[in-house]
């Protein structure tokens, strides 16, 4: 453990993890101060932008390339982390304690303060070796990814400030793997939150009213759970598929009723849909409307979130950044698997600007603790990730 304790990169990682940039109502100032110190240490200039408002900073460090006119590389990570239930943790969630096995326990250790700090550690190592590259590298730290990035990356990409970065390729977060594979995510599913407001007959709880909200809800619920079952059946029947290949459906919120003996006039239900890249979105939306009519009508649909389908990043010989990254990983004898991310990240906003983006988090042999209690990352895994980025960055920055 003493070697880990005295490793500079481990120390900096733990310092970053101790900043409680946790939702809701995050003050990003401590993150900015910490990252500005890192930039000074790396001798990298910094710009801070506020496209989403005064409390939503985007920090950009820039390592100038030898041919700055070329499209640049963007290394993206987000500063925010999801809420915690401290009583459910065996270690304080923002203490970044490390046990005898080298496990660093903290919210953000996997998602995704690790990746942001690994970028900087790899740059530190490369600069120490005197490395220079053709392309400029921008390291971006953005807010609010965990709440859809509306005031973060989504607000940033349409601006002149983003345009001036001249981004030609983006690396962003991926996910851990429990085996020896490293997954590279070339696409993400489309996220829809579907909210049904189901109106029906109300009255005394002792009577059998017709067309109640509960009966209509039962019909809608059955149809939505049938979609869920379809995805489960596909995964069970084809071991080559994973969650990224199917559309998932989950009931997340139900509201209705005020008193035990009154039939509620309205039931509200919200479903979380993560739609596969080959899902026909127009056909699905029409199907939802048809089910509302079949259930008895008087049902309103709203979409708190209804993302458009984002084009996948091409992963063939026409994409020089993919070729460069793939070759770098293969030279390290790493097993790689291109796939679709089951969730969504800020990569979708970058891809919507017709910029190729890949999701990648170098955390193999790691239990998946994203958003979970006792989130942790093993110190050696973190250090190995730095070594991997030391090989990826020269490859893509010289592509």
Could you say which of 9, 80, 111, 375 is catalytic?
Answer: 80
* Options 9, 111, 144, 145, the catalytic residue: 145
CA atoms within 13 A on the CB side of 356: 19
Active site annotation includes 242: no
87: Cβ–Cβ under 8 A, 6 or more apart, which residues? none
The Cα–Cα gap between 12 and 261 comes to: 59
Measured CA to CA, the distance from residue 109 to residue 106 in angstroms comes to 5
- Which residue is it, tokens 């990569």? 347
> How many residues in total does the chain contain?
399
196: region left, alpha or beta (phi > 0 left; psi from -120 to 50 alpha):
beta
Residue-wise DSSP of 227-274: HHHHHHHHHHH-TT--GGGS-EEEEEEEEE-SSTTEE-SEEEEEEEEE
Residue 331 and residue 154: Cα distance in Å, rounded?
Answer: 35
- Rounded to whole angstroms, the Cα distance separating 188 from 178 reads 20
Is 307 a catalytic site residue? no
Structure tokens at 168: 């030609």
Residue 388's φ and ψ, nearest 5 degrees, are -65, -45
CA dist 313 and 169 (Å) reads: 10
% helix, strand, coil for the chain, step of 5 = 35, 25, 40
Q: How is 297-345 classified by DSSP, letter by letter?
A: S-EEEEEEEEPPPPPPPP-STT-HHHHHHHHHHHHTT-EEEEEEESS--
Which H/E stretch holds residue 187? strand 181-188
Residues that are catalytic: 80, 145
């Amino acid at each position: 453990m003493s070697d880990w304790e005295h490793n500079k990169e481990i120390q900096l990682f733990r310092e970053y993890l101790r900043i409680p940039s946790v939702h809701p109502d995050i003050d990003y100032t401590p993150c900015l101060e910490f990252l500005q110190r890192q930039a000074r240490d790396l001798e990298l200039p910094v710009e801070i932008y506020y496209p989403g408002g005064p409390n939503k900073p985007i920090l950009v460090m820039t390592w100038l390339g030898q041919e700055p006119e070329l499209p640049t590389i963007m290394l993206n990570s987000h500063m925010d982390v999801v809420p915690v239930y401290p009583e459910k943790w065996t270690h304080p969630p923002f203490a970044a304690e490390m046990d005898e096995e080298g496990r660093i326990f903290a919210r953000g250790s996997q998602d995704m303060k690790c990746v942001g700090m690994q970028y900087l550690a790899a740059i530190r190592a490369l600069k120490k070796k005197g490395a220079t590259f053709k392309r400029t590298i921008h390291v971006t730290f953005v807010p609010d990814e965990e709440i859809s990035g509306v005031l973060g990356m989504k607000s940033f990409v349409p601006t002149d400030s983003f345009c001036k970065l001249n981004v030609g390729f983006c690396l962003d977060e991926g996910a851990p793997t429990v085996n020896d594979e490293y997954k590279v995510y070339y696409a993400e599913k489309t996220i829809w939150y579907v909210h049904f407001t189901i109106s029906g007959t109300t009255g005394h709880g002792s009577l059998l009213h017709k067309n109640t909200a509960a009966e209509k809800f039962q019909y809608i619920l059955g149809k939505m759970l049938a979609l869920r079952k379809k995805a489960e059946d596909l995964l069970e029947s084809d071991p080559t598929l994973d969650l990224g290949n199917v559309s998932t459906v989950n009931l997340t919120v139900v509201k209705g009723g005020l008193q035990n003996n009154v039939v509620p006039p309205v039931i509200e239900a919200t479903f979380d849909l993560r739609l596969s890249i080959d899902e026909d979105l127009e056909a699905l939306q029409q199907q939802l409307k048809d089910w509302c009519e079949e259930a008895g009508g008087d049902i309103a649909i709203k979409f708190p979130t209804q993302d458009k389908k984002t084009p996948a990043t091409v992963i063939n010989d026409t994409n020089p950044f993919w070729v460069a990254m793939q070759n770098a990983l293969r030279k390290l004898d790493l097993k790689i698997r291109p796939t679709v991310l089951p969730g969504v990240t800020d990569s979708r906003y970058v891809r919507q600007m017709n910029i190729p983006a890949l999701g990648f988090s170098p955390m193999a042999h790691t239990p998946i603790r994203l958003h979970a209690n006792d989130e942790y990352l093993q110190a050696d895994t973190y250090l190995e990730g730095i070594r991997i980025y030391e090989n990826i960055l020269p490859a893509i920055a010289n592509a």
